Amino acid sequence: MTLAQLGEQVGLSASYLSQVERGVIMPSLLRVADLARVLGVGVHTFFQEDVTPPTVVRRHQGQLLLQSRDVCVELLSPDFSQKEVEPFYLVCQPGAARDPMPRHQGEEFGFVLQGQLTVTVGEEVFLLHAGDSIHFQGAQHHAWRNEGEAECVVLWAISPPLPDAEGMWRAPDEAPEGKGGDGVQA
């Protein structure tokens, strides 16, 4: 259907429709409803943003973000550029702890897949077992520790993503890869 044909059916000029199409002008909601009716689509069609195709990460194929003496962190959506949430797969050895974790605007969510994890949020302490989850605001003091005798496996998500995801999982006494303990290149 041409713009002229569409314009005839909704009572608008092809020139007007061309300006709408190019984002030069914004039609009223009534005009959008007329266009949707003639085109046989829902009004919501005109308000959807571009959709990013799904990202599939196969088992153990995520981006290894951190492999330290006590924690392995795998980023589960490394190629999703417009993401609003960043999911991680954590394997925490007995005794592993991060206290404190960086505070940030946004939210965190953790789901224990295996083992147990003690999570502190503010002044509250929660002992989570396999099948338990926790959801909290990232601006609060928060920390975690594997006090169990077996490794703990956790699905963790942060929204919005943080600029230094690797740094947030590193223990305070661990230097970034390739650097000495004082942060100077080795």
Given this chain, do its domains 3-47 and 63-169 carry the same CATH topology? no
Task: Profile the chain (186 residues) by mean pLDDT over runs of 10 residues.
Answer: 90 90 88 88 76 80 89 84 85 94 93 98 98 97 96 96 78 60 35
CATH of domain 3-47: 1.10.260.40
CATH topology of domain 63-169: Jelly Rolls (2.60.120)
Residue 183 is predicted with a pLDDT of 37
The pLDDT value given to residue 133: 98
Report the pLDDT value the prediction gives residue 97, as an integer from 0 to 100: 94
Supply the pTM of this predicted model.
0.67
Distance, in Å, from the CA atom of 35 to the CA atom of 43, rounded to the nearest integer, reads 8
What is the predicted pLDDT for the residue at 55?
80
Sketch the domain layout of the chain as residue ranges. 3-47, 63-169
pLDDT attached to residue 180? 43
Q: What is the pLDDT of residue 80?
A: 59
pLDDT for position 93: 98
